[in-house]
Amino acid sequence: MKEIKRYYTLHAEPADVYNALTNQKMLEIWTGEDAVMETEPNTEFSLWGGSISGVNLDFETDKKIVQQWFFGEEAENASIVTIKLHPDKKGTSVELRHTNIPDDAYENISQGWDDDYFGALRELFI
C-alpha cells in the first residue's frame, strides 16, 4: 500500500473551496458528472458518476474533509483521504493526504489528484 501527500494552491477563499468539495451541485458543475454528497459524518458519497465512492468520516467547515474511499468490494480495500484547507495570500493552500492506496492503483490515483481533481478545481477558480 502507498501514500500520497501533496499541496495545491487554489485562487479562492477556503469557504469557496470547501463548498466546491462538499456541495453536491457544485461538485456536479466542476466534475461534469453526477455526484452524491452530504456534509454529515457516516454518509455515503459518490463522485464522477460512481467512479469514486466511499463514506464521509469527518467535516470541519471551511477547514477539513476526511473520507474513506473504497477500492473494490471489500472493506480492507479502503483508503483514507484527508483534505485540509489553509488560508493563503493567493487564496487557499490545500493539504492532501491519501493513505492505504493499493499499489496497482497508485499511478492512476496520483495522476487523478493532479489532473482531474485539483486540475479541474484550478480551472473553476481562475
Q: What is the mean pLDDT of each run of 10 residues along the chain (126 residues)?
A: 97 98 97 96 95 96 97 74 97 97 93 96 94
Domain boundaries, the chain: 2-124
3-state secondary structure labels for all residues of the chain = CEEEEEEEEECCCHHHHHHHHHCHHHHHHHHCCCCECCCCCCEEEEEHHHCEEEEEEEEECCCEEEEEEECCCCHHHEEEEEEEEEEECCEEEEEEEEEEECHHHHHHHHHHHHHHHHHHHHHHCC
Full-prediction pTM beyond 0.75? yes
In CATH, the number for domain 2-124 is 3.30.530.20
Cell numbers for 48, please give them.
Answer: 464522477
Kindly report the number of other CB atoms within 10 A of residue 72's CB atom: 10
What pLDDT does 74 receive? 58
Say how far apart CA 22 and CA 42 lie, in whole Å: 14
Angle at 63 between CA 68 and CA 41, to 5 degrees: 40
The pLDDT of residue 15 is 98
Task: Report pLDDT for 71.
Answer: 76
